[in-house]
Structure 1
Amino acid sequence: MTTRQNIRTHTFHTPFGKILALKDNGVIKAKSIRYARSERFKKPIPLKSAESEEILDKTPVCPQNISPLLERLIGKTDLEKFEAEESTQFLTVTRPENYNEHEKLPVVVWIHGGSYEIGCGDLPTSDPSVWVKEQNIIVVSVSYRLGLFGFLGGNENRPANLGLFDIIEALQWIKKNINSFGGNNENITLFGQSSGGDAIAHLMISEGAENLFHRVIIQSAPLGFRHKRQKMSAEFFQRTEFLKEEKEALKMTESYVKFLPSFLKYGLKTSMPFCLQYGHAPLCKEEESLEKWRENASKYDVLIGLNHDETAFYVKTAETGFYTYLNNTILDKIVRKTTESIYEKPANIFAQNYAEGGGNIYRFKIHSTLKNNPIGASHCIDLPFIFENKSAWESSELLKDVPWEYIQENGKKLRSIWAEFARTGNISDTSERPEMLELRKI
């Protein structure tokens, strides 16, 4: 922690205590607020008050392995700016600096992706500042336990779904405190991409999450990976049981990769070895999930969708392995089939089931409209449109054939539509659509 000089600050007075925030570039950002604490493989314990009014020097992240693929996809990670923290219950609140104090702003809660294994809520590539200023909303970015610490369990000593329990605690904190930041705790939208979207879909049917949010935006959730994971998870759990006594968390993350599930035995789902586990609190059994979503259809407004070429980056830019020997025609077919099975068909089933329950639900798909973009609309392409931050995204291979002006032009329209949904739960037929967006109400 440090005392900052020549930096404008603001103090929020909340039921949680005084919270110091930084003013920068038109927003006020209260960074890395600890909302709970946990011991290894234990449920989070909510904090009753703020532990400190200081601002952390480094961003806390759950211990994790750096993913070379993700660094190519999104950008290099500056390790000097992050610090491994096994009890990773932190959140950041970003609010417009200038707003009407008599107005309660809609609240968007960002749940990051990363296959339940990597990432955190406070990456530069998910900085919501532009969106917050432009649309006059509040964004709360949540960090939670990942990997071995949050999403692999099987008994009382190593429970499953601990990361989901963390998120629920964060939502409890937001419900109690966000009004003090100018937010409306009766207008909370959960927003997640990839595994973050998958987590949000399951929060809709989780015990203990009732009345904590009102609508959801689910981008590129790999719902096709949620089925029949029990044997794979049990094997992975058993093979990593010896790591539970390891004192150094980073050694745990270095070691588990030797015991990852075999692709030959379990297929494509091995690309996401960590996941939510049905039949363990706070979730129902897998066979009950569709009925639970249908039963809850009147509770939440839903905006769900995907990118047309979700798997393209992984398939078409592979540097080693099977894909490097195939021609473009075959690669295109693989991209279409895998995108359909992992993302598109499961999203369609979810949406149709939800609509049959009487739910208010919109479906979207993002396409590439650029002629010279061989990757197309791949996984994560939606993120720079929402989180416009050129310096953070400039090293991304995903965007190497995409002009930044294209991101800016389409992003502003997409942010407007997403904010409209967050405010009201509806999207007007007259709202201007970006050219790459296909959108319809189910």
Structure 2
Amino acid sequence: MTDYTCIVQTACGAVAGRESDGLRTFRSIAYARAPVGALRFQPPEPVEPWQGVHDACRPGPIAPQSPSRLASVMGDIDAPQSEDCLTLDLCTPATRAGSLKPVVVWLHGGAFSSGAGSLPWYSGEALARRGDVVFVSPNFRLGALGFLCLPGVAEGNMGLLDALAALRWVVANVAAFGGDPGRITLMGQSSGGSMIDALIDTPPARRLFQRAIVQSAPLGRPRQDRNEASAIGERYRSLVDERWRDDLRHAPVDVLLRAQGALAGSFRPPLGGTALPFMPVLPVAVDRGGGASMPGASAGAGAGADADADADADADADADAGAGAGTETGG
């Protein structure tokens, strides 16, 4: 490691990034354990502490996915892919004068099946520089690996729970990067906006952010319930190579992606049902909470939604933030 210029101490270990043109950037910081092996289709596990300094100067792999239907518009995604994708990028102004800065956490779009927060066209450098904010963009699981609902195999919402784990990481660690854990805005586009809509309806998530900006999310689409999602999951399994149908946890990723493509190509939602095979299942069961706080789409859809939590929840968030406070050094 020879090209880093700044080091920040997080709750789990030190990370080394780059400082250039008034910004400090950190790439591919793990916010949860790699969801591989026995952890495939499971909720994210906390990241394990590491020794030494983690090189956060280079982009990491993105979630496994098939070629995007938007490749002709946005360009091909040629980034390496891996199930070990639960990482985030962070960009922050280099100047630290005054109080802690507001934080923006960006959830990318892609129909819950493609994209990544680490792609270059989602760079937060301009927003961090012009808005004087700390910009965080996590990667999360997609497609069947992120949203398969199949009793006995996967409970669904893995990708949504990844986003929740990333938020918890931000609350615990962002102060070390100059961000205010009490001023977090969730911002997401298309399916990323739909994920925010689901998180607003998830009580344990609401204490982790204060505002939300939902961009071009299809909030009028009917929500997917567990019965519908389970039926889609069974249909998906029937399309998996017969050798792996009873062992999806150990099936090669390319086998899972082929079945996902076959399902998408033939998918016809039931009358009044959803238009995508893989998406969040509501209500979301998470930690001690669970259940939706309101039926249907979020109130104020299309506008910034205020997600202030109650006093007790604020105290919990403050405790989380204090637990992860770190220090920063030049490098």
TM-score by length of 2: 0.79
Partner of residue 166, structure 2: 170
Indicate the SS of the match to 2:85. Answer: coil
Partner of residue 86, structure 2: 89
Partner of residue 70, structure 1: 70
Question: What code does the residue aligned with 2:70 have?
Answer: L
Q: 1:253 aligns with which of 249, 257, 279?
A: 257
1:273 aligned to 2:273? no
Deviations 1:399-432 (A, max 9, x none): xxxxxxxxxxxxxxxxxxxxxxxxxxxxxxxxxx
Identity over aligned residues, as a percent?
28
Partner of residue 140, structure 1: 136
Asked if the contact 1:31/1:93 (under 8 Å) is kept, the reply is yes
Asked if the contact 1:15/1:177 (under 8 Å) is kept, the reply is yes
Structure of larger gyration radius:
1
Change (3 A) 1:228 1:172: closer
Question: What code does the residue aligned with 1:73 have?
Answer: V
Deviations 1:242-274 (A, max 9, x none): 261443213311232223374555369665221
Deviations 1:220-246 (A, max 9, x none): 111122335656533320023326144
Partner of residue 127, structure 1: 123
Q: 1:20 aligns with which of 16, 29, 32?
A: 16
How many residues align structurally? Answer: 293
TM-score by length of 1: 0.60
1:158 aligned to 2:154? yes
Asked if the contact 1:121/1:143 (under 8 Å) is kept, the reply is yes
Partner of residue 294, structure 2: 289
Asked if the contact 2:224/2:274 (under 8 Å) is kept, the reply is no
Change (3 A) 1:144 1:50: farther
Partner of residue 209, structure 1: 205
Correspondence list, 1:229-378, <5 A: 232-241=228-237, 242=245, 244-260=248-264, 262=266, 264=268, 266=270, 271-282=275-286, 289-290=294-295, 304-305=302-303
Change (3 A) 1:202 1:142: same
Unaligned runs of 5+ in 2: 238-244, 309-331
Bigger RCO (CA 8 Å, 6+ sep): 2
Unaligned runs of 5+ in 1: 295-301, 306-350, 362-442
Q: 1:105 aligns with which of 95, 101, 104?
A: 101
Question: What code does the residue aligned with 1:226 have?
Answer: P
Greater share of residues in helix: 1
Change (3 A) 1:13 1:105: same
